[in-house]
Amino acid sequence: MTDKRLLDRVAVITGAGDGIGKGIARRFAQEGARVVIAEIDGETGPMVAQELQDDFGVEAFYLHTDATKEEDNRRAVKEAVARWGTIDILVNNAWGGDRAGLQRVDKMPDDAMDHAWHMNVMGPLWAMKEAFPHMRAQGKGR
């Protein structure tokens, strides 16, 4: 019997190419999860997916994902479901609020505010809207 708490669970993690997202992906893989690395960086994303396969023997794949785009957020969930039949865990980790540098909201240029809004509010909402019906149907998910 295995003690892996996430064995065969399916996780989609945005912004998993480095930093906290990569750390989450590694921990989930260590616990047996299958992982979608939903990452905009075409260099780090594939490397992380390969690391998870090599280091933990789990299924993982990279999917180029711009977390400011509705279709990319939805596609990350759809690809997980298409490949593995489900989604159990969604981690909205991508962050991009510092495009214009950290500053007061009244001083932030409109294009930077629009980017921050789509990255930090709308992107996660779109991914959740795609994931939640699957989670509800199976009676579980996080």
Number of domains present in the structure of the chain: 1
Residue of 25, 30, 28, 33 whose CA lies nearest to 8: 33
The tens digit of pLDDT for each residue in 24-44 reads 999 999 999 999 999 999 999
- Taking CA atoms, 33 is separated from 19, 52, 60, 92, 112, in Å, by 19, 10, 9, 16, 35
Residue 1 has pLDDT above 60, yes or no: no
Residue of 137, 139, 33 whose CA lies nearest to 91: 33
User: What is the domain-level CATH number for residue 126?
Assistant: 3.40.50.720
The answer to whether position 3 is within a domain reads no
pLDDT band for position 100 (cuts 50, 70, 90): low
Average confidence (pLDDT) over 45-52? 99
The answer to whether position 64 is within a domain reads yes
The answer to whether position 30 is within a domain reads yes
The answer to whether position 123 is within a domain reads yes
Q: Tell me the chain's radius of gyration from C-alpha atoms.
A: 16
Q: What is the pTM of this model?
A: 0.92
What value does the mean pLDDT of the chain take?
93
Q: Rounded to the nearest 5°, which phi and psi values hold at 67?
A: -70, -5
The answer to whether position 117 is within a domain reads yes
The tens digit of pLDDT for each residue in 117-136 reads 899 999 999 999 999 999 99
The answer to whether position 31 is within a domain reads yes
pLDDT of residue 111: 86
The answer to whether position 1 is within a domain reads no
